[in-house]
Amino acid sequence: MPSPRGLVLALACLPGQTAQAQLFGDDQARQAILDLRQRFDQAVAAQNRLVDENTQQRRGLLDLQQQIESLRGELARSRGQEEQLARDVAELQKALASQQQALDERLRKLEQDVAARAPDASAGGAVPPVASDAAAATEKQDYDAALAVFRAGDFKAAQTGFAGFIKRYPRSTLAPSALFWLGNAQYATRDYKEAITNFRSLLTASPNHARAPEAMLAIANCQIELKDSRAARGTLESLIKTYPQSEAAQTGKERLARLK
């Protein structure tokens, strides 16, 4: 059994040990709270970063959507402009074909008048046979049919029509015009070498024909498409020299300036 003195000493030491244990527990709790607060702050900071990144991504998506809408608008405007341009070109082609047909009519009548007067102007010359009205009408119908096919944009069929016309009516007053349109139909199908051949045939057979300057300009265009700039320059220079007052010569000057 412990002595009374030992018991007193044990009781005296007890309060100090309890205070020390309490102090140790407070430090751990305080450290745990600090650790918890630090983890909380880190979590908040991480969350803020995610929010910022999300906000930036949303802004990027909005900018991208705006760019896409802008491109769509530009594409729509471009398509609208192309469609309008196609309509304008179609209308111009129709107007040009109509004017060219009217010019062909006037040329045909003029050539027929010249041919009709030719026997009176020649002394002792043989009188050429006069074609019947029915034959002349058939000839004109064949020419008009080929021209209508050309105007419709069926250039392959137009080539067949004009080539057949030239073969059937080689001495027709419309033959030079048929050669001209045959060359244009071949140009439209990118058969540039054959087009050049027919344009040159027109120039050789009828150098003073109203279509001659245009035929020479068309030859230069074919040569440009064939990447033969040197030949094109020579043709354009010849056009300007041979037919200086023609509209084709004025166009030729502009194209010659671009080739130099």
Q: Which one-letter DSSP state was computed for residue 172? A: -
pLDDT band at 15 (very low <50, low <70, confident <90, very high): low
Q: What is the 3 state secondary structure string of 173-187?
A: CCHHHHHHHHHHHHH
Average pLDDT over residues 92-99: 60
CA dist 41 and 36 (Å) reads: 9
Token readout for 215 is 């035929």
Q: How far is CA 215 from the centre of its chain?
A: 26
- Kindly state the percentage of the chain with pLDDT values over 70: 71
**Structure token digits, residue 209:** 């024909």
pLDDT at 30: 76
The pLDDT confidence band at residue 60, using thresholds 50, 70 and 90, is confident
C-alpha distance across the termini of the chain, in Å: 131
The pLDDT tens digits of the residues spanning 113-153 come to 554 554 443 444 444 554 466 677 789 999 999 999 999 99
Q: What is the pTM of this model?
A: 0.53
Q: Give exposure, 150-162, as e/b (b: 16+ Cβ within 10 Å).
A: bbeeebeebbebb
More confident residue, 7 or 88: 88
pLDDT above 80: residue 73: no
Tell me if 235 sits within 8 A of 220, measured CB to CB: yes
Q: Environment class of residue 15 by beta-carbon count within 10 Å: exposed (0-12), middle (13-18) or buried (19+)?
A: exposed
What pLDDT, on a 0 to 100 scale, did the predictor assign at position 124? 44
Cβ proximity of 89 and 98 under 8 Å: no
